Amino acid sequence: MVYIRQDKLPKLKEYKYSGVDKSLVSRYIMKPFYTHFVIKCFPMWMAPNLITLLGFGFVVVNFLTMLWYTPTMDVDIPPWIYGSWAVGLFLYQTFDAVDGTQARRTHQSGPLGELFDHGVDALNTCLEVLLFAAAMNFGQSWQTVLTLFASLLTFYVQTWDEYHTKTLTLGIISGPVEGILTLCIVYAITAIKGGGSFWQQSLLKTIGVGEKPEWMPETAYDMAWNEWYMVYGGIVLVFNTVQSAQNVLAARRARTINGQNGNHNPLFGLLPFFFAWVLIPTYLALNPIILRQHLVPFTFYVGLINAYSVGQMIVAHLVKSSFPYFNILIAPLLWGVVDSLGPLVQEQLGKYGLGRLGWPSALGVDTVYQIAFVFMCLGMGIGVYGSFVVDVITTICDYLDIWCLTIKHPWVAETEETDTKRIETKKD
């Protein structure tokens, strides 16, 4: 399958990165650290994309230790494991942040770097949800699913914002900066406190609020740390989503004034995400065996659905094509929901003599065949997303005459200065 049409390839040469980072932590703490210290650790021959990939390797190692020590994500494990997660995630953030600086100083900036960076970030988002769930001892539960929803929505909306505004906007509180640092702190505290069970204690009781204030509901007083964190995450999610929507609508109004407005409302671009997230909890509710025993592979599958949508948006942004509404990876999930709904429809409508309107399930509800179906969906997701990644990277590299993980045409300052002087001499 071809993911970039030949007539769109010339648009790649018009690419110019545009980004706005409003984070005070990033501006006054992280960027000086990256610029004055970290970037000096990387040699000039190292490709920016290789730095990004190496950083992602730390997260993969973290995930593998999670699978070894707590595959069910609901038991305390050796404290040093949590500490290694904090270090690994911080290194990922650091490598992910300096790849842009490395691209600029080696004169390798281009559309492939942005695509590669977003693709790795999309995969990291899925893995970090599982690591965070393990650190909080959420286990295979609806809390983990809700965390997955919030994380993927944040990333999807940020990319959707960039597609329509042509600028990557990171707010005062953003996932790549404050979000990752918060997770690093959570992992570090979990290591110090000896396990994820710490977060299941009442926050107010833990910090020394001995008696419940009269004005406070009993439920709020008894809320655990992890429950308060979910509230905090929900507030940040709403804030960032509303802010991105305002950015997109403002950009649309600006294009309308200039006579460049499209035929569709940009808010329609959120429909693929929310359509998928109508199906996801529905499928899990109909098949509790997946939720309680096989949530990890299902989470991977959902993460690939989001990564594929995000990847399509980035490609459309780079080649200036129409917004990609269709995601083939949602199709098997839709079929799974329809298949599982049949017996339920038969049962409920059968009370009114309308059971014939239902249909039998091909896989059965909550059976071993549903487990096989989830792994089939995961395999399909890996195949489709893998082909997308390979095809897009190969197409861009061939057209721009570059390599992905190595520098094909190193920039040499002396050579460019010599060529400039030679041209000036000829003009004289």
Q: Please choose, from the candidates 227, 236, 185, 180, the residue with its C-alpha nearest in 3D space to the C-alpha of residue 202.
A: 227
**Known catalytic residue: 107?**
no
Kindly state the tokens that stand for 56.
């992602």
Alpha helices in 294-329 (DSSP H): 295-319
Burial (CB count within 10 angstroms: exposed 0-12, middle 13-18, buried 19+), residue 53: middle
Q: Please choose, from the candidates 159, 101, 122, the residue with its C-alpha nearest in 3D space to the C-alpha of residue 315.
A: 159
First and final C-alpha spacing in the chain: 52
3-state secondary structure of 170: strand
Separation between Cα atoms, residue 322 and residue 305, nearest integer Å? 19
Angle at 154 between CA 338 and CA 198, to 5 degrees: 95
Phi/psi-derived region of residue 195, left when phi > 0, alpha when psi is between -120 and 50, beta in every other case: left
Alpha helices in 258-294 (DSSP H): 271-286, 288-293
CA 101 to each of CA 47, 82, 119: distance values in angstroms, whole numbers, following the listed order: 11, 30, 18
Per annotation, catalytic residue among 36, 118, 264, 294: 118
Kindly state the tokens that stand for 344.
């339920």
Separation between Cα atoms, residue 358 and residue 9, nearest integer Å? 49
Q: Please choose, from the candidates 123, 101, 89, 102, the residue with its C-alpha nearest in 3D space to the C-alpha of residue 19.
A: 101
- Using CA of residue 277, residue 278, residue 279, residue 280, what is the dihedral sign? positive
Phi/psi-derived region of residue 47, left when phi > 0, alpha when psi is between -120 and 50, beta in every other case: beta
118 contacts 155 by C-beta, under 8 angstroms:
no
Q: Specify the residue for token string 């993980």.
A: 405
DSSP state of 20: E
CA 146 to each of CA 23, 120, 271: distance values in angstroms, whole numbers, following the listed order: 26, 22, 18
User: Which residues are marked as active site?
Assistant: 118
